[in-house]
Amino acid sequence: MGEDQRYNLLDEHWIPIAHGESVSLKDVFAKPGLRALGGSVLEKIALFKLLQAIAQAACTPKNDEGWKTLGEEGMARACLEYLETWRDAFWLYGPRPFLQYPAAIKANCSSYGVLMSEIPSDNATILFQGQVPPPAKKVTDALRARLLLTSLSCSLGGGAKKTEKSKRFPPFDIEDRKTPKPGPALCDNGILHSFLTGITLRQTVWCNLLTREDIESLQVYSEGVGVPPWEVMPQGENDTVAQKLKNSLMGRLVPMSRFLLLGNDGVHCLEGLRHLDFKARMIDPSMTSFGLNSNKVAMLKPEPARRPWRSLTSLLGFLDSTKEAGWTCLQIESGIRRLGMVRLGPFGIWSGGLKISRKSGEPYMGVSDDAVESEVMLNTDFLRRQWFDHLQLAMKKLDQMAFVCKESVRKYFESFCANDANGQTKHVKGQPKKKDKQACQRNAAKLAEEAEWQFWEKAEQAFQQLINACAQDEPDSREQALHGLRDTAQACYDAACPQVTARQLQLYAKHTPRFSKKASA
C-alpha cells in the first residue's frame, strides 16, 4: 500500500446498519434515525466497542447525574466534535493508518482469510465455497476496515490463524511465542458479550456510556478510562503506552492484540499485545462474570445449543436483592440503573458471542462451534423485584418443560430397546433390528436432544410474550403464556414419537409428557 492518505472512516460508508445501507462514523452520531447495527456477531461486538470508546474518549461523565444531564444530544455533539478534532487519526491508509503499523510490512503478506473466523487454516479441509479465502482485489475497503477492527478484539489465535511470531521485528519488542493467544474478547473458549440497545443506534451508544464512578466501582482498570490507541499507539508490548493501555478501559474496548498493516495484496500480521484475561481479574464491561473477587472466576460463555436469551435472568441477577453474590455485567447493571432514572421506556438487551474449541492448546472452530446472538425487548416499567421474581419462576418452568419433553422422548425410544430372549433388540427407529442396546440408547438420546432443541427454538418465538406477561399483576396472563409453551413441548413430543402401530401408540401414551399445571406466583 502506498503512502497515499485515503479512505477516512469518518466519511466513508463502512458500518453496516440492520435493514439499511452502510454509514460512516459521523453518520452514527449525526443521524438520529439509524436503528441498529448490522453485520456478523463479531462485527457487532467490535463496532459496539468502538462506538463506546469514541463516546468515552469524548465525554465520559462523572456520575449518573452527569450522564443524565449530558443526554443523547449532548453526547452526540461531543462525539462529532471529538471526531473532527482527531480526523487525521481515522485514515485507513497513509503514513499513519488507523490502528495499524507501517513497520509491520516486514512480516509476510497473508491472505485476508487469516482475519476471517469462518475461513479455516491453510491445512484444513475446505467443505463449502464460503470457506475459500476471497481474492484480495475483491476485499473492499469497507470490509478491510471491519476485519481490522474485529481482528484486534476477536482473533482466533493459535495455528488456525497464524501470525509471524517466531521472529523479532524492530521496533516491536514482541517475545518469542509458540502460539498466538485469541483476542481478549474471545479468550480461550469464547465469552458472551451483552449491551443495552435503544430505539436508535445513537441512543444505544448513550445507554452504554459508562461513568467514572462505574469504572472505579469495578476495580479492575487501574488506569481508569485511559487513552484510545488511535491517539497514541503502543510501539511494542512493554513500552509505557502499552502497559497503560492494558490496564485501562480503552484497552478492553479497542485492544491491540494484533499489529497489522492492510495492503493491496493481503495483510501483514504480527501478534500484538497480550492483554490480561479474566483469570487475572481483567474483563470487558460487556462480559458477565461470577466471583470476580474470589479465587475462582467464571464467565458466561456462548453456547450454540443454548441461545443467549436463556441467560436473561443471569444478566439481571442484580435485581434479586436476596442474593449476596451472583452474575455481574457492568454494562447491563449500570445502564439499567440509569435508564430507570430517565424512564426511557422500551429498550433491549443484545447478547452475542463466538464459541471456539481448543485442542492441544490450539484454538479452532470445531463442528459444534458457532456464533450466537439474540435480543430481548424490555421496558423500564418492568424493572422491579416482582417482575423479576415472575420471570425467574417462568424460566424455571421453561427448563422443566424442556427436561420433561427430552426425557419423555428418550424413554419412548428406549422402550424399543428391550432385549428379547436371544439378547437382541426388537426395534429401534431408523436402526437395523440387531443393533446392540448401547446403540439403541445412543440413538434414543440423540432423538431426545433433537426434540429438546426444537422446543427451545419454538419457545424463543413466544419468549417476548412471556416477558410481557410477567409484568402483569394477574396470574392468569402468565399462566396463559406458560400454557401455550406447554402445548409447544407436547407438540415437540408428538412430532418426535411416531403413533402408527399399536406398540407405538401404547408407548406414546405411557411416556407422554406430564407437566405441572401450577400457576406462576
Which range of 22-31, 362-371, 407-416 scores highest in mean pLDDT? It is 22-31
Q: What is the per-residue pLDDT for 343?
A: 80
- pLDDT at residue 132 greater than cutoff 60: no
Measured CA to CA, the distance from residue 411 to residue 404 in angstroms comes to: 10
| Of the candidate ranges 161-175, 318-332, 409-423, the one whose mean pLDDT is the lowest | 161-175
Q: What is the per-residue pLDDT for 115?
A: 86
CA atoms within 13 A on the CB side of 241: 13
- Are residues 283 and 292 in contact, defined by beta-carbon separation less than 8 angstroms? yes
Partners of 10 in the β-ladder: none
Q: What is the per-residue pLDDT for 287?
A: 95
Can you give the C-alpha Rg of the chain in angstroms?
A: 26
Q: Over the stretch 84-113, which tens digit does the pLDDT of each residue have?
A: 999 999 999 999 999 999 988 878 888 888
Buried residues in 427-464 as b, exposed as e (16+ CB within 10 A): bbeebeeebeeeebeebbeebbeebbebbbeebeebbe
Phi and psi at residue 455, to the nearest 5°: -60, -45
Output the nine-digit C-alpha cell for 18: 440492520
Residue 483 pLDDT grade (very low, low, confident, very high; cuts 50, 70, 90): very high
**What CATH number belongs to 386-511?**
1.10.132
| Of the candidate ranges 123-127, 149-153, 330-334, 419-423, the one whose mean pLDDT is the lowest | 419-423
Cis before 171 (ω within 30): yes
Chain center to CA of 366: 17
- Are residues 469 and 480 in contact, defined by beta-carbon separation less than 8 angstroms? yes
The residue among 194, 136, 163 whose CA lies nearest residue 349 is: 194
Q: Which residue has the higher pLDDT, 208 or 477?
A: 208
The residue among 35, 90, 82, 32 whose CA lies nearest residue 54 is: 82
Tell me the residue length of the chain. Answer: 521
Q: What is the per-residue pLDDT for 146?
A: 96
Q: What is the per-residue pLDDT for 177?
A: 54
* Encoded amino acid at 316, one letter: L
Q: What is the per-residue pLDDT for 423?
A: 39
Residue 421 pLDDT grade (very low, low, confident, very high; cuts 50, 70, 90): very low
Residue 277 pLDDT grade (very low, low, confident, very high; cuts 50, 70, 90): confident
CA atoms within 13 A on the CB side of 79: 29
Phi and psi at residue 20, to the nearest 5°: -160, 180
Its sign, for the CA torsion 474, 478, 480, 483, is: negative
Non-local CB neighbours of 273 within 8 Å, separated by 6+ positions: 234, 237, 242, 245, 246, 251, 255, 256, 257
Mean pLDDT, range 162-190, rounded to an integer: 66
In a 3-state reduction of DSSP, which class is residue 90?
helix
Mean pLDDT, range 31-52, rounded to an integer: 96
Its sign, for the CA torsion 501, 507, 510, 511, is: negative
Q: Which residue has the higher pLDDT, 384 or 377?
A: 377
**What mean pLDDT, rounded, does the chain reach?**
86
- pLDDT at residue 271 greater than cutoff 90: no
- pLDDT at residue 306 greater than cutoff 80: yes
- pLDDT at residue 320 greater than cutoff 60: yes
Q: What is the per-residue pLDDT for 174?
A: 55
Measured CA to CA, the distance from residue 414 to residue 440 in angstroms comes to: 7
| Of the candidate ranges 126-140, 235-249, 283-297, 326-340, the one whose mean pLDDT is the lowest | 126-140
Measured CA to CA, the distance from residue 42 to residue 499 in angstroms comes to: 44
Partners of 326 in the β-ladder: none
| Of the candidate ranges 129-138, 226-235, 291-300, 433-442, the one whose mean pLDDT is the lowest | 129-138
Measured CA to CA, the distance from residue 177 to residue 183 in angstroms comes to: 15
- pLDDT at residue 77 greater than cutoff 50: yes
- pLDDT at residue 247 greater than cutoff 80: yes
Q: Model-level pTM?
A: 0.89
- Are residues 287 and 218 in contact, defined by beta-carbon separation less than 8 angstroms? no
Q: How many CB atoms lie within 10 A of CB 357?
A: 15
Mean pLDDT, range 477-492, rounded to an integer: 93
Partners of 195 in the β-ladder: 350
Q: What is the per-residue pLDDT for 301?
A: 92
Residue 475 pLDDT grade (very low, low, confident, very high; cuts 50, 70, 90): confident
Q: pLDDT exceeding 90 applies to what percent of the chain? A: 59
- Are residues 157 and 165 in contact, defined by beta-carbon separation less than 8 angstroms? no
Q: Which residue has the higher pLDDT, 398 or 158?
A: 398
Residue 520 pLDDT grade (very low, low, confident, very high; cuts 50, 70, 90): very low
Partners of 299 in the β-ladder: 289
Q: Which residue has the higher pLDDT, 356 or 7?
A: 7
Helix axes 475-496, 385-414, angle to 10 degrees: 20
Q: pLDDT exceeding 70 applies to what percent of the chain? A: 85
- pLDDT at residue 179 greater than cutoff 70: no
Residue 356 pLDDT grade (very low, low, confident, very high; cuts 50, 70, 90): confident
The residue among 280, 281, 237 whose CA lies nearest residue 256 is: 237
Q: What is the per-residue pLDDT for 187?
A: 83
Measured CA to CA, the distance from residue 297 to residue 292 in angstroms comes to: 5
Domain coordinates in residue numbering, the chain: 6-168+181-383, 386-511
Residue 210 pLDDT grade (very low, low, confident, very high; cuts 50, 70, 90): very high
Residue 385 pLDDT grade (very low, low, confident, very high; cuts 50, 70, 90): confident
Mean pLDDT, range 158-177, rounded to an integer: 52
Q: Distance between terminal CA atoms of the chain?
A: 65
Residue 205 pLDDT grade (very low, low, confident, very high; cuts 50, 70, 90): very high
Q: Which residue has the higher pLDDT, 216 or 292?
A: 216
CA atoms within 13 A on the CB side of 472: 14
Mean pLDDT, range 147-157, rounded to an integer: 89
The residue among 147, 151, 5, 27 whose CA lies nearest residue 80 is: 27
Mean pLDDT, range 285-292, rounded to an integer: 90
* Encoded amino acid at 330, one letter: L
Mean pLDDT, range 109-119, rounded to an integer: 80
Partners of 350 in the β-ladder: 195, 375
Mean pLDDT, range 43-57, rounded to an integer: 97
